[in-house]
Structure 1
Amino acid sequence: MKHFLKETDLQSHEVAEVFALAREFKAKRGRHVPPVLAQQTWAMIFSKSSTRTRVSFEVGIHELGGNPLFLNRNDIQLDRGESIEDTAKVLSRFVHGLIVRTHDHSDVERLAAAGSVPVINALTDFLHPCQIYTDAFTMAERWAERGGDLLASLKGRKIAFLGDTACNMPNSWILGAGMFGMQIALAGPAEFEPTAEIKALATAEGFDDVYTFTTDPFEAVKDADVVYTDVWVSMGKEEETKARLAQMAPYQVTEELFASAKPDALFMHCLPAHAGEEVSQGVLDNERCIIFDQAENRLHTQKAIMAVLAQQPRG
């Protein structure tokens, strides 16, 4: 049974299929699209609140002909002592796929190991693969010639990621950069260097040479095709707000910093954005800021991921 827990879970031909389907689904939205999830119910187990993730998955399942079943963690027996393994086995008898947004990455791994339906990681504290595939697709839309090879347009490109460089988004971008033939330059405070866990995974995947880390934001953005940032205080880190805002202040994406990248560089952010913290309002207002294209493309890319996973026989 194939799952999508991290960026490298799909093979190269499946990644190409995801991108091709995302392009097709976007072009044909509102017109006839094969109901690839017809007569299927996909359960969405969410331990974290969300806007883009929940709405895009619910709408996407519906548009593919399926039924989305939203389950807040408090609505099921997980918080009353039922094991993750038993939950996976029970839900596998009822539904055709699980979409999970939670804290511990081990939760999605255990659900996938114990169940017999596809599991999609809709965000953990360690990785956010749906966002990375969406971001890469959004970049490729800009760079590929009309009707051209989306994946080929990514090769050799450079991303600069600034701020909190030890959380799920930069972790996922290290894997994504390796998958898509890109480079990523990370810039943040010294104590936010990528963790041993993501370094070990990158080494295991053969991606040691796709990322660098520096404490100098201008060094990171030099020759960058994309300047990327995320919130400085992720969910669950609220008690660190004051310290993080002080530590991260030199890494705000300002107009000056953005101008130090390539002249046609794009600005990206997975949202929600906090103007005046990780990014200035001037950068958010720049015509090369494509954050709402990213948000929209969550729908199309995630539909494509579900379509690819739904093709496999039920376990």
Structure 2
Amino acid sequence: MKGRNLLSLADLTVNELETLLDLAQKLKTGYTPRSAANQVLGLLFYKASTRTRVSFSVAMYHLGGQVIDLNPQAMQVGRGEPIQDTARVLGGYLDAIAIRTFAQKEIEQFAEYADIPVINALSDLSHPCQILADLLTMQETFQTLEGLTLTYLGDGNNVAHSLLLGCALAGVNIRIATPPTYQPDSAIVEQAKHLAQSGTEITLTDDAKEAVEGAEVLYTDVWASMGQEDSAAERLPVFQSFQVNEDLVNLASPEAIILHCLPAHRGEEITEDVLESARSRVWQQAENRMHAQKALLASVLGLSD
């Protein structure tokens, strides 16, 4: 993947996804790729971040490279400089850039003009790096991905979109359980169906209990994403039946694990006892952000050839 962008998981082939996950596991257990000495990763984040910012920074440092945290408000892009101008300039300075912003089209425009790998570190449409860590966590737990069933409960947001694409590529059956007016983007659903491995099931439903039955992975996210805080209060009663609680977990497979991309609103989308239970793999999942992104950086920078 040397020199490649990652704007969406749909940019990957099945083999590339498997290779990234295998490389992440090797890196986590001690494999050392070629050094990224004298290479610089830029982080251009328009939105708040804990896990993504820190995990990318640590991953690049572990690879031997450097990181520049680019504050848009301290740059000319924050004063209206066109994205294409900023992209071409930064492309001449950096070796790769990870961008977290509101609009997917801004990342795509940046990638069009920057002659370096551009990584989507979250947009309104997708969150591909999160799902690399999720799949790595599932693979560590079950040794295989193919044939597993993941149930996502909550808002049909960017995480749900990338889960649809990632599970389709990995051969994981995915059930998206949302209130009727909060379903994922229909175009993403169709894209996932096109990518899906033979026999992989993609289900959309508004019945949380039915969606959870027999699933090996239960996944949730906050009910109001960044930028939707004004609607948080009105969403609470609408999403209440999708809360991941003990009653719902008991309907899943006896081997089921719990995932959450964090930050969590304990007592809303997930209860405290479930988040802290023996089934929870949330902290392993959070750590895996760093290992998965290290694999991604090693790949796009050509360190693992």
TM-score normalised per structure 2 = 0.94
User: Which secondary structure does the structure 2 equivalent of 1:123 belong to?
Assistant: coil
Match of 1:285 in 2: 276
d(CA) in 1 for partners of 2:197, 2:25: 27
For residue 126 of structure 1, what is the amino acid of its counterpart? Answer: L
Deviation string, structure 1 residues 138-162 (Cα, Å, up to 9, x no partner): 1101111xxxxxxxx1001100111
Deviation string, structure 1 residues 258-286 (Cα, Å, up to 9, x no partner): 01000010000001111110011111121
For residue 12 of structure 1, what is the amino acid of its counterpart? Answer: V
d(CA) in 1 for partners of 2:201, 2:80: 42
Question: Is residue 243 of structure 2 the alignment partner of residue 252 of structure 1?
Answer: yes
Candidates 258, 261, 271, aligned match of 1:267: 258
Query: Could you say if the C-alpha distance between residues 224 and 203 of structure 1 is closer, same or farther in structure 2, counting changes exceeding 3 Å?
Result: closer
d(CA) in 1 for partners of 2:197, 2:236: 31
For residue 235 of structure 2, what is the amino acid of its counterpart? Answer: R
For residue 178 of structure 2, what is the amino acid of its counterpart? Answer: G
Question: Is residue 180 of structure 2 the alignment partner of residue 190 of structure 1?
Answer: yes
Question: Is residue 70 of structure 2 the alignment partner of residue 80 of structure 1?
Answer: no
Match of 1:59 in 2: 58
Question: Is residue 288 of structure 2 the alignment partner of residue 308 of structure 1?
Answer: no
Query: Could you say if the C-alpha distance between residues 58 and 16 of structure 1 is closer, same or farther in structure 2, counting changes exceeding 3 Å?
Result: same
Deviation string, structure 1 residues 170-226 (Cα, Å, up to 9, x no partner): 111110111100111111211012223323433554689642111111100011010
User: Which secondary structure does the structure 2 equivalent of 1:268 belong to?
Assistant: strand
Match of 2:164 in 1: 174
| Matched ranges for 1:1-315 at <5 A | 1-28=3-30, 33-144=32-143, 153-164=144-155, 166-203=156-193, 205=195, 210-311=201-302
TM-score normalised per structure 1 = 0.91
- Cα deviation for residue 306 of structure 1 reads 0.6
Query: Could you say if the C-alpha distance between residues 206 and 267 of structure 1 is closer, same or farther in structure 2, counting changes exceeding 3 Å?
Result: closer
d(CA) in 1 for partners of 2:250, 2:293: 32
Query: Percent of counterpart pairs with the same letter?
Result: 40
User: Which secondary structure does the structure 2 equivalent of 1:232 belong to?
Assistant: coil
For residue 170 of structure 1, what is the amino acid of its counterpart? Answer: A
d(CA) in 2 for partners of 1:191, 1:94: 44
For residue 199 of structure 1, what is the amino acid of its counterpart? Answer: V
- Cα deviation for residue 242 of structure 1 reads 1.1
For residue 6 of structure 1, what is the amino acid of its counterpart? Answer: S
Deviation string, structure 1 residues 46-102 (Cα, Å, up to 9, x no partner): 001111000000111111010000012212111212111111110111010010011
Match of 1:149 in 2: none
d(CA) in 1 for partners of 2:183, 2:197: 16
Task: Please tell me whether the aligned partners of residues 4 and 300 of structure 2 are also in contact (alpha carbons under 8 angstroms).
Answer: yes
d(CA) in 1 for partners of 2:81, 2:53: 24
For residue 104 of structure 1, what is the amino acid of its counterpart? Answer: A
Task: Please tell me whether the aligned partners of residues 175 and 207 of structure 1 are also in contact (alpha carbons under 8 angstroms).
Answer: no
Task: Please tell me whether the aligned partners of residues 14 and 170 of structure 2 are also in contact (alpha carbons under 8 angstroms).
Answer: no
Which shifted more, 303-312 or 284-293?
Answer: 303-312
d(CA) in 2 for partners of 1:14, 1:196: 25
- Cα deviation for residue 15 of structure 1 reads 2.1
d(CA) in 2 for partners of 1:22, 1:119: 19
- Cα deviation for residue 44 of structure 1 reads 0.5
d(CA) in 1 for partners of 2:186, 2:174: 17
Structure 1, unaligned stretches of length 5 or more? 145-152
Task: Please tell me whether the aligned partners of residues 177 and 210 of structure 1 are also in contact (alpha carbons under 8 angstroms).
Answer: no
Task: Please tell me whether the aligned partners of residues 33 and 298 of structure 2 are also in contact (alpha carbons under 8 angstroms).
Answer: no
Structure 2, unaligned stretches of length 5 or more? none
Paired residue total: 300
User: Which secondary structure does the structure 2 equivalent of 1:154 belong to?
Assistant: coil
d(CA) in 1 for partners of 2:19, 2:35: 14
User: Which secondary structure does the structure 1 equivalent of 2:121 belong to?
Assistant: strand
